[in-house]
Amino acid sequence: MGGEIVNADSMQLYADLRLLTARPSPADEASAPHHLFGTADGADGWSVGRWLRAASVVLSEIAARGRPAIVVGGTGLYFKALTVGLAEIPQVPAAVRDQAQDDYAAMGEMDFRGRLGAVDPAAAARIAPGDRQRLVRAWEVFAATETPLSDWQANGQPAIASGDWRAVSLEPPREALYARCDTRLGAMVEAGALEEVAKLAARELDPALPIQKAVGVREFSAYLAGELALAAALAAAQQQTRNYAKRQTTWMRGQMTGWPRITDADAEGQWRSFLALNPALTP
């Protein structure tokens, strides 16, 4: 279609884990212009706001070239920021951030989430179990501004006008999706994902950085440290991937209610369904 591809996946932003985050291969990237893939260093944690600013610049440049942009990825909040908006949140003082981290460590997730739910029930409900980073972020914003993070986010303006884009959500049958998740993790290991994780571990980065939350990092790090057998680490990473895919589906159903669904499992079927939904885009 002569388009350019823009990444909307929070882990594929980073250069450190090409294999483990399933970034496009060099051959894929050579087939069309790709943007915001492997852009950031793992030591440099990007927020959704930073991605939105970078993506907005890229989209403007693509539009200036008169080419279509295809925004792809697995991070629902990025798509929401792009199409619904994301308010500029005031900077949180370091003392407030530190106190929020200390509170989480002292209270544990359940009590911390409960406290958050009393002031920002929307955030407490949507943040996935175990996502310490986003729970702490939601609380620190309220603690610093006395306004829930959900209210800040609801006040933003979309980066692209509603009539300027079409959307589609890929939602293949769960059995086929889970089988592919399992197969892909095995292929990642064979292709060198363990070496990627070892290099990342050797950098001794802050455990709170987003790159450290990539699915598979914790499990394969445990194998490399001699704490798990490889088969056990792989099985655990596969389970975490399936869990993540389930959360993505839940997000899409709850947050992307007006987006058409494509339920085909194979690429050719997906392409035919996409063209059926968008006949004007037929090459």
Q: Are residues 259 and 119 in the same domain?
A: no
The predicted structure's pLDDT at residue 39: 94
Q: Are residues 39 and 76 in the same domain?
A: yes
The predicted structure's pLDDT at residue 283: 67
- Please say which residue of 152, 174, 199 terminates a domain: 152
The predicted structure's pLDDT at residue 135: 95
The predicted structure's pLDDT at residue 194: 97
Q: Are residues 166 and 261 in the same domain?
A: yes
Residue (of 62, 52, 43) closest to 8 by Cα position:
52
The CATH number of residue 125's host domain is 1.10.20.140
The predicted structure's pLDDT at residue 97: 93
What is the domain count for the chain?
2
> Contact 82/49 with Cβ under 8 angstroms?
no
Length of the chain: 283
Helix (H) or strand (E) holding 71: strand 69-72
Cα angle, residue 200 at apex, residues 245 and 127 outer, rounded to 5°: 35
pTM (predicted TM-score): 0.79
- Please say which residue of 129, 152, 175 terminates a domain: 152
- Please say which residue of 152, 174, 202 terminates a domain: 152
| Residue 213: exposure state from Cβ atoms within 10 A (0-12, 13-18, ≥19) | middle
10-residue stretch averages of pLDDT, the chain, 283 residues long: 94 96 94 96 87 93 96 91 81 92 96 94 90 94 88 78 89 95 96 97 89 94 96 97 92 88 94 90 73
Q: Are residues 66 and 105 in the same domain?
A: no
The predicted structure's pLDDT at residue 233: 97
Helix axes 76-83, 230-255, angle to 10 degrees: 30
Beta bridge partner(s), residue 72: 7
Domain of residue 210 covers 4-86+158-281
Instruction: Give dist(CA 126, CA 113) in Å, integer.
Output: 11
Q: Are residues 168 and 236 in the same domain?
A: yes
The predicted structure's pLDDT at residue 209: 86
Q: Are residues 178 and 251 in the same domain?
A: yes
Q: Are residues 164 and 145 in the same domain?
A: no
Q: Are residues 50 and 118 in the same domain?
A: no
Q: Are residues 98 and 59 in the same domain?
A: no
CA separation, residue 54 to residues 11, 49, 61, 168, 214 (Å): 15, 9, 11, 22, 21
Q: Are residues 249 and 139 in the same domain?
A: no
The predicted structure's pLDDT at residue 88: 72
Return the residue matching tokens 């589906």: 249
